[in-house]
Amino acid sequence: MQLAPLFPIVHRILQPTFPGCLWSGDRTCKAIALTFDDGPHPQYTPEVLAVLDRYNITASFFLLGACVNSSPSIAQAICDRGHWIGLHGYDHRSFPMLSPIELKESLEKTQLAIYTACNLSPEKVRDVRPPNGLFTPKTLNLFQQWKYRPVMWSVVPEDWVRPGVTEVVQRVLKQVQNGSLIVLHDGACGGQDVAATIQVLIPQLLQQGYKFISVDALWQQFNTSQLVIGNR
């Protein structure tokens, strides 16, 4: 059973329930974030970077610490091109299955791997996307305690089950709107098609007038909107 049709419904339920997470950006601004999970991969990630270079697109990558250690030069290539880097855990274990000590170690090991590969200080790598999208209120409380920023999603075309490039592109185009936070995968599951997918997808989104920004820029929009709400 494919879950793609359910994700927009899940998003509408979870976003107001967990408002401290980043689910999307400014709905009045025609800017979106293109993000990639599960890398870096020695083949798929360079293919993605080549397409992003071609269109001069800024994206965000949520990296697995184990993959960074396996492909440090690819992680460095992501950083050198100015893409935003976040954490996806060390080895893709679901966060609710980890004890607080294990979760902290997973994040810190990933930060260390990124620092070793990219010379990017841990203080600059604080965005976390939970593997499999699974988290609990306790998880979020720990993130807040440890000063991490939880990043979720608004467009999930379920590319990891490989429904085909055309289907993934159609799913994104059907759901995308101002502020969308799009999740694709450049790892072992789904990465086989990702470069071909964005080669088709990016020109169509550009033609529709969308600007691609980093997750950090979405956070800036989010914080500005929260400030405005707080001053009302």
Could you tell me if 190 and 184 are in contact, meaning their C-beta atoms sit under 8 angstroms apart? yes
Pairing, β 211-212 against β 127-128 = unpaired
Catalytic residues: 37, 185
Instruction: Provide the token pair at 199.
Output: 């080669």
Q: Dihedral, CA atoms, 216, 218, 221, 224, nearest 10 degrees?
A: -50
Sorted by sequence, the CB contacts under 8 Å of residue 107 that are 6+ apart come out as: 87, 89, 90, 128, 146, 148
**Residue 5 burial (C-beta neighbours within 10 Å; 0-12, 13-18, 19+):** exposed
Measured CA to CA, the distance from residue 219 to residue 217 in angstroms comes to 5
Could you tell me if 23 and 203 are in contact, meaning their C-beta atoms sit under 8 angstroms apart? no
Cβ count within 10 A of residue 37: 27
Select from 59, 121, 133 the least CA-distant residue to 89.
133
